[in-house]
Every structure is written in C-alpha cells, then in structure tokens.
Amino acid sequence: MTRTLQPSTLLGGMAPDAFMKRYWHKRPLLIRQALPGFTAPLSREALFALAGQDDVESRLVTRSRKCWQLDHGPFDRDDLPPLTRRQWTLLVQGVNLHAPAVHDLMGQFRFIPDARLDDVMVSYAADGGGVGPHLDSYDVFLLQAHGQRRWRISAPHDTSWQEGVPLRILKHFEAEEEWVLEPGDMLYLPPGYAHDGEAIGECMTYSIGFRAPLEQELLQNFLYYLAENAPELPFGRHFDGRYADPKQPAVQKPAALPDAMVDTLLAQLERVKWGRREVSDFLGRWLSEPKSHVYFDPPEKPLTHARFAAAAALGGVRLSPKSQLLYERNRFFINGEPLEVPVNTRAALRKLADDRAISGGECTVFAQKDHQIQEILYDWYAAGWLLPGADPGPPRKLRAIAKKAA
C-alpha cells in the first residue's frame, strides 16, 4: 500500500515531497515550531543515567578558555561537571535504541528511507556549551528539546581544521546566518554545511542524523562482501582451489613478481561478475547490521509458541527499537541477516518493515494465509528482535499472558 504523506508542522507546513525536492541534501531550512509545545521526552537525569551504561556511546566535551578536552564514556554522575559550571556538553549517541519515547519521535521522519537513518544523538549543554564550529558528513535535523541554543551556519569555504585540538573544529569560520532556537524549533542541515551551536543557559538538543556513506566506504565493504560470500555467489565455484605453479622455472631474479601469478589473479578477477541481486543483497545486509555496541536482550522466560501466537493475536507485535528490517523487492534483511520467504509471507513482512508493527487483527489474518509467518515472528521474538504488543505499553490481558511464560 502506498502511503499518503500530508503536509505537517514538522516541515513548516510543507509536504514531504516538496521538502525532499527543494531542501534534502541541498540547502538548510529553519522551521519554527516544527513540533508545537514540544517537551523533551527524556529528562536530564535519565540522559545522564544512559551515559553511564556500557552499551551506550557517550562523550564529554569541556572547554576552558581556548582549551578543549574530549572524554569518552561511560560516565558515572560524579564524572560529569557540576551543573553550575559553564561550557561543557554531554553527547549521547543512539538514544532512540534505549528510550521508547525518542524512538517514537523518529517515526515523524519516516518519509526518508530507513536505509539512510543513523540514530538520534542527544546533546545536553550547560550555559555556553558546544563543540565548536564544525562540518558533518550526514544530513541532520537539529530539534531543540529544552532551553535555547544559538546556531550560526555557513556554506563550506575553508575546511581546514584547528591543530592540537581533540575535536574537528574549523580553523576559519564566519557565520552567514544566525538564529536562536526555542523548544520545538528545528534546523535542517545537509552534509558539509559549517555550523556552530552554543547553549544559552542549560539546554538539550536532539540530532536526528541520516548517514551518507562515502563512496570509498561503500566500495570497500562491497568488495569485502564479495570475498566473504564468494562460495554462495554465482561465480564462487571458480574460486575453490589454491594457487599452483607446477610449470614455474628456476629464476635468476627471485625478487621479481612471477608473471604467472599476476596473470592468474587477473584471470580470476575477470570471472567475478555481479548484478542488481548481489548489490542489493550487500546493501540490505550492511545497512541493517547493528552497530558494534548494540546488543539484543532475548526474553529471560520466553513464551511458548502457542502463548506467543495468542499474545500476537491479542496485542500484535512490534520490532525492537534496536532492530532494522529492510526489504528490496522480494528479499528481506533484518539486523544484517538475509531472508527469503514464500509469496504468502511477503505482505506481512513488508507491513512489519514499513510500519514497524502489526496489529493483533493483522497477525491473525496473516497467520491464516501462511503459517510460516508465525515461525518467523517467534524466532525473532526469541532472539530479542521482536516484541509482543504493537504498542510500547501492552494491555493488561497481554501482560497476563506474558506472566504465564513457560
């Protein structure tokens, strides 16, 4: 089913199609009251607690006059400066993976392909806090969640960096535009725009970032994919032996590369062929692969198949915030794993991928059409990739079923 995307305050009353054509990856856009009445879904104390977890990436940036210091977490509360101190910033990555309300906030931005999504970073800054003028290599929406922040931006000119500083801070930065953002205001920046944000009093900013991989990064990882998966690929049967040189003569110049070895490798590389299937398979695996510090939590007392099916029929299912489910035509990729399914199963998985949830009624209908969908969903539930209940807070009956886990 094709989604109808309506204009919303998020884009200043602009339709998503218009935003993508006029601004996305092209030029900045300031949106006053993108989310009217917005309040930070995560308190300062909750953010500090996240920064103390081993599976959460966090950084602390402090400044004293012209001296910058960068420290990496996890941080105990005592590791952080006092709230009365000026010019310090706590940056916490991947908050959407740990805070359901922040994960739900990302749903507002799903007019952009999930394949481009990176994460939500939350920045807490004391008065005067910031990370200096810098460039980002990705598209980002800077949503003001609490307090005020002054943003100054400029089109890229001189991209040289300050030396002897632990951060990539621009050596020369002259602002071309400047705004003070209030809670609910949002600034969109495409890659490469110089920007500098400074807290006016205590503030929190949510950075919704969308990855833009380097072409070199894509190429390197694709070549690694080809090498790692060669036995499964159509050309893999050509690479089941070991280099041999039974006709190698004695040499007088032992340091010279043998012509036969160069010719053999060249001939092997010419046999390597790929097409859309291999490229999409690589992208699906690579873009859905969880980051190295992301861990899933399987249920301690998993439901039996029957009770899971009953819970799904009652309250539906939803993907874990840590899960990434992508598809390309008839192939699916979840958390770096490829999956091919029968025709009758594809509609259910596409629905789950696009909506990140399936209602109880939909689970029942899909199960009646194809019993394999129940096996797939149960396996994902047992791995911690999927949760019972299409809403973060399951109803009382659903919780009762969960308590009867075998």
Flag whether 132 is in a domain: yes
Residues 32 and 155 in one domain: yes
Q: Among 210, 236, 264, which residue terminates a domain?
A: 210
**How many domains does the structure of the chain reveal?**
2
Looking at the domain assignment, is residue 338 inside a domain?
yes
In a shared domain, residues 188 and 315: no
- Measured CA to CA, the distance from residue 318 to residue 356 in angstroms comes to 6
Q: Answer yes or no: do 179 and 311 share one domain.
A: no
Q: Is residue 324 part of a domain?
A: yes
Would 232 be classed as within a structural domain?
no
Tell me whether residue 158 is in a domain: yes
Q: What residue numbers bound the domain in which 147 lies? A: 9-210
CATH of the domain at 311: 3.40.366.30
What are the two backbone dihedrals, phi and then psi, of residue 41, each rounded to the nearest 5 degrees? Answer: -75, -10
pTM for the complete prediction? 0.88
SS3 284: helix
Residue 117 located in a structural domain = yes
pLDDT by 10s per residue, the chain, length 406: 445 555 678 999 999 999 999 999 999 999 999 999 999 999 999 999 999 999 999 999 999 888 999 999 999 999 999 999 999 999 999 999 999 999 999 999 999 999 999 999 999 999 999 999 999 989 999 999 999 999 999 997 788 898 989 999 999 999 999 999 999 999 999 999 999 999 999 999 999 999 988 899 999 999 999 888 877 776 655 566 788 888 899 999 999 999 999 998 898 888 888 889 999 999 999 999 999 889 999 999 999 999 999 999 999 999 999 999 999 988 999 999 999 988 889 999 999 999 999 999 999 999 888 889 999 999 999 999 999 986 544 444 444 554 554 3
CA distances from 141 to 106, 120, 131, 210, 373 (A): 11, 9, 17, 9, 36
From 171, 194, 210, the end of a domain falls on 210
Q: Which of 171, 188, 210 is the last residue of a domain?
A: 210
Give the Å distances, CA to CA, from 177 to 28, 138, 187.
10, 20, 12
Joined tokens for residue 140: 């980002």
Residue 387 forms part of a structural domain: yes
